[in-house]
Structure 1
Amino acid sequence: MTDTNKGTAVVTGASSGIGAIYADRLARQGYDMILVARSRDKLDAVAKRIATETGRYVHVLAADLNDRQDLEKIEQVLRTDSTITLLVNNAGFGAASPFLQTDMDWMGQMIDLNITALTRLAYAAGQAFSERGKGTIVNISSIAAIASELLNGVYSASKAFVLTLSQSMSKELSDKGVRVQAVLPGATATEFWDVAGLPHANLPQDWVMRSEDMVDAALAGLELGEVVTIPPLQDGADWATFDGARQELSGKFRHKIPGGRYLTTRSAA
């Protein structure tokens, strides 16, 4: 047990996989925990193990974040519990099948969880942390946010949303004492792949990172002050180059006249 008290961390999707490992690691760092997921039985098992091994207080909240009442319940906790200093926005799911071969209702649920629920929780935490002058929000994105052709397009788009939101929130909230980090895992050995329809055992095994290693790398990135952490990226300078090029390009959009290639086409017409 650690005597350090860093406040309370809220982890969504905490009943298994990445979320459960985040809960374990954060408790060992000195956080009390609020664990959120749909399965009360699985949450109770995770909570019991973490509390026994770390001595931290661990509370569970069974909630389906695609249910508006359940989502509002978690938002209210984030707004009113002044001990909360960290949110890990981890709940989400994906699909590996092509866009036109994936059920639209399934993709709609993906949007609701990966985008709407995550945004509402980030908003609630962002408001509360800004008022208190401190706090950290960790949003779990994916390398699919950048490598959009890898998996289902809606999944990739949802994770691109998470990346963009996190970068914007970081810029907006940093002077209010709020840190925001986007974590972009690559292929990670979790149940995610079973739900997505492509078990990770079917992937090249030199691509697949242990979930413990992914979370430890993400927490190391947070400690280093990174806004964007990509655990499988071997050279961090590659991200700096990519993001620098993006920012440089964005400075070239301030023109009231269309690009010459469009004017030439229009004149010819």
Structure 2
Amino acid sequence: MTMLPTVLITGASSGIGATYAERFARRGHDLVLVARDKARLATLAARLRTECKVAIEVLPADLTRQADLAALEDRLRQDERIGILINNAGIAQSGGFLTQTADAIEGQIRLNTLAPTRLAAAIAPRLAQAGSGAIVNLGSVVGFAPEFGMSVYGASKAFILFLSQGLHLELSPKGVYVQAVLPAATRTEIWERAGMDVNALPEVMEVGELVDAALVGFDRRELITIPPLHVAERWDALDGARQGLMSDIRQAHAAERYQR
């Protein structure tokens, strides 16, 4: 009997991360759940152990802290049972750029970009050597929508999209699947933590529907999964325009419009 890979999920105490935990547990995967809130992790783990009969380990960690991040990196490097990484932990932006403190900006960048990059870098060599496994990075449609006015958060999610595309090019030939999941507004606690009222938003997806859609993309081995996008060709057109732009860039001379 083939053993299913263990799934490590960051930000697993609530919202998208907790829902991923439930869905993978129902599929029969053992889990490693990572978040700051030990009590909530323990409660979730106890319920899923009972309901799904899988092994679940709880790892309390704050991924903005160097020691916690390094310990998790070591675990990903060494534990050969872990074959799927769900990079879900993140924080939203509270207020505009002019009101952000230096500490808030640094914390957001550490959690939204540095942590998932380092965790992916920790597990990727082992997965590539095994020729199997998956890295799932949670981004956001805000990453290509500066009009939303969330400059630091949007930039961090644009980083996640680019990172996932780059990792796909490097790792897919070695048998490692990389997926970027780009939600729009989803009903989770991230809004309250950022001081925003989710009920004031015109349209909000329920978290179960989001994760179920993301897992359809996962099973199809999509690179980019955008659950709220109804016309898939819109993304194809955007990516095609990007590739067309690259083919039109010639580096030997400045474009004629910039020459005097």
- Give 1:209's match in structure 2, choosing from 205, 214, 225: 205
Match of 1:81 in 2: 79
Is the CA contact (8 Å cut-off) linking 1:145 and 1:160 kept in structure 2? yes
User: 1:56 & 1:64 partners in 2: Cα distance?
Assistant: 25
Deviates more, 1:250-259 or 1:211-220: 250-259
User: 2:86 & 2:197 partners in 1: Cα distance?
Assistant: 25
Deviates more, 1:174-183 or 1:126-135: 126-135
Q: Alignment partner of 2:116: what SS?
A: helix
Alignment gaps of 5+ in structure 1:
none
Q: 1:215 to 1:4 in 2, by over 3 A?
A: farther
Q: Alignment partner of 1:139: what SS?
A: strand
CA deviation after TM superposition for structure 1 residue 96, in Å = 4.4
CA deviation after TM superposition for structure 1 residue 35, in Å = 0.2
Q: Would you say 1:147 and 2:182 are equivalent positions? A: no
Q: Would you say 1:172 and 2:194 are equivalent positions? A: no
Q: Could you list the per-position Cα deviations for residues 78-126 of structure 1 after superposition, in whole angstroms to 9, with x for gaps in the alignment?
A: 1111111100000010114211122221111000110111100011111
Is the CA contact (8 Å cut-off) linking 1:35 and 1:58 kept in structure 2? yes
Q: Alignment partner of 2:252: what SS?
A: coil
Q: Alignment partner of 1:46: what SS?
A: helix
Q: Which runs of structure 2 are paired with 1:191-202 in the superposition (5 Å)?
A: 191-202=189-200
Q: What's the TM-score, normalizing by structure 2?
A: 0.97
Is the CA contact (8 Å cut-off) linking 1:110 and 1:155 kept in structure 2? yes
Tell me how many residue pairs correspond in the alignment: 260
User: 2:204 & 2:17 partners in 1: Cα distance?
Assistant: 17
Q: Alignment partner of 2:169: what SS?
A: helix
Alignment gaps of 5+ in structure 2:
none
Q: Could you list the per-position Cα deviations for residues 173-199 of structure 1 after superposition, in whole angstroms to 9, with x for gaps in the alignment?
A: 001110100000000000011122212
User: 1:6 & 1:185 partners in 2: Cα distance?
Assistant: 27
Is the CA contact (8 Å cut-off) linking 1:4 and 1:29 kept in structure 2? no
Matched letter for residue 211 of structure 1? V
User: 1:12 & 1:102 partners in 2: Cα distance?
Assistant: 25
Is the CA contact (8 Å cut-off) linking 1:89 and 1:138 kept in structure 2? yes
CA RMSD, aligned part only? 1.2
Is the CA contact (8 Å cut-off) linking 1:15 and 1:39 kept in structure 2? yes
User: 2:4 & 2:183 partners in 1: Cα distance?
Assistant: 25
CA deviation after TM superposition for structure 1 residue 247, in Å = 1.2
- Give 1:114's match in structure 2, choosing from 112, 122, 125: 112
| Structure 1 residue ranges (4+ consecutive) displaced by more than 6 angstroms after TM superposition | none
Matched letter for residue 215 of structure 1? V
User: 2:247 & 2:83 partners in 1: Cα distance?
Assistant: 35
Is the CA contact (8 Å cut-off) linking 1:170 and 1:179 kept in structure 2? yes
Q: Would you say 1:260 and 2:260 are equivalent positions? A: no
